[in-house]
Amino acid sequence: MITGYAEHTRRAAYGSHRVLGVARLFRVLSSDTCVSVLSLLSGGEMTANDLLAKINTASIVLLQHLKALVNAGLVTVRGQGKQRYYAIDKEGYEIAMSQLQQLNTVEAG
């Protein structure tokens, strides 16, 4: 289940907190590690160990970035036994893209 920021963002995607949501989205996407994870997950679901084998970083750092992506609503996680499987959250991605596209429609003044 997605909680925290992602849940808040889904409820407020078009509300008064939209700018704050976009700022948080940019913060997550400003991380090279997060962008690398998203790129790898675009090929399908992966475990943390699968990701760690492809990204040159410490496991604790990767787990922190995965948590940030889950909290941002861009990635889902599911447990199966002792493994955690990560995948792109299609709904969260669509909300994020919608928020970014709305920046083009912001009127000055």
Identify the structural domains of the chain with CATH numbers, from first to last: 5-104 (1.10.10.10)
Mean pLDDT computed over 40-58: 96
Residue 14: pLDDT over 50: no
The residue among 91, 86, 94 whose CA lies nearest residue 68 is 86
Residue 7: pLDDT over 70: no
Beta bridge partners of 77: 86
Check residues 27 and 5 and name the one with the higher pLDDT: 27
Q: Is 77 helix (H, G, I), strand (E, B) or coil?
A: strand
pLDDT band at 98 (very low <50, low <70, confident <90, very high): confident
Rounded Cα distance, 36 and 27, in Å: 15
Residue pair 42/27 in contact (Cβ under 8 Å)? The answer is no
β-bridge pairing 46-47 and 83-88: antiparallel
Which pLDDT belongs to residue 19?
55
Q: Which of 30-34, 35-39, 74-78, 91-95 has the lowest mean pLDDT?
A: 91-95
